Structure 1
């Protein structure tokens, strides 16, 4: 049973990184026209997420584990979420980043406890991404807004991320 859970964890993390790549790609597309000053930060975060995706993809391949069947859904959802938040403004981009990363980091903390007991290679893969995700969360927090105006964005992002994680555990 633990080995099955380990595979599921990495499969879901892999899918989540696909979603993050799509979020940053679509936000970057809009930012190139309206918020040129944050494109470099979006590029850096996008590079991190691509590296994370490759880390999990390598783990899946080396352990002969299939990817999540909902990978396409993560891509589509990420593009939509990134596009809409970018259209809502630069602060909305950062609120989205903070909400996604807060949800992801909560998820990773549980995973790390489990993986440390059951699979050190999977644990190492998850540990390797955590600092970047914390950095993204901090950037989102520092540049975003915790005002009531952005609460709906925060809640939609948080719960859609939770839903996507839950759905990926089933597929």
Structure 2
């Protein structure tokens, strides 16, 4: 049975509201990461990269719909415009440099997302809560792990120093985005 937060009239605790808001922002950004990749892949006529991005993008759209099904509109992030732009750029910029940069970027993003979902899963398992929400988060996390593993397997050689710096920036940017999305 879900707990009710009397101050917000949500069926989730304040902690879970914040986390779900960050999940919603993150899945919005993820949808746009793949839109950015697709835009550049289409310009370059790179069918392999376009197929990769379309497949993963469809999963992210599904995740966004799942989060929206459990998080009322009034609890969602009010910064969706910036999340869309940041996501699009996070996909398009590495796509300008080729598949390897895209795969490394997806690996970095999904590594962060896997850990982010795990924190929420751990919280629900430790403190109890909505079993359906737990299943939803575990399902999303499993898909993100699959995306990470696929991207990692497609990266043929170790990343250059510049690419490692980019991926570190992507990871730090993801952390900062979560902190902001929890609040706004």
TM-score calculated relative to the size of structure 2: 0.85
Q: From the two aligned structures, give the one with the greater helix fraction.
A: 1
Instruction: Tell me, in whole angstroms, the C-alpha distance in 1 between the residues paired with 2:159 and 2:110.
Output: 18
Quote the RMSD (CA, aligned, Å). Answer: 1.7
Map of 1:75-114 to 2, 5 A cutoff?
A: 75-114=84-123
- How far residue 41 of structure 1 moved from its aligned partner, in angstroms, is 1.6
Quote the offset at 1:107 in angstroms.
0.9
Q: Which residues of structure 1 form unaligned runs of 5+?
A: none
Using the alignment, how far apart are the partners of 1:110 and 1:146 within structure 2? 29
Contact kept, 8 Å, 1:6 with 1:118, in 2: the verdict is: no
Runs of 4 or more off by more than 3 Å in structure 1? none
Say which one has the larger Rg.
2
- Residues 143-171 of structure 1: per-residue CA shift (max 9 Å, x gap): 22532332112111111111111111121
In the TM superposition, residue 65 of structure 1 has moved relative to its aligned partner by: 4.8
Unaligned runs of 5+ in 2: 6-11
Kept after mapping to 2: 8 A contact 1:23/1:80: yes
Q: Is 1:70 aligned to 2:84, yes or no?
A: no
For 1:71 and 1:110, locate their aligned partners in 2 and report how far apart those are by CA, in whole Å: 23
The number of residues matched between the two structures is 169
1:132 maps onto 2:148 in alignment: no
1:14 alignment counterpart = 24
What's the TM-score, normalizing by structure 1? 0.91
**Contact kept? 1:18, 1:74, Cα under 8 Å:** yes
Q: Output aligned runs, 1:53-64, within 5 Å.
A: 53-61=64-72
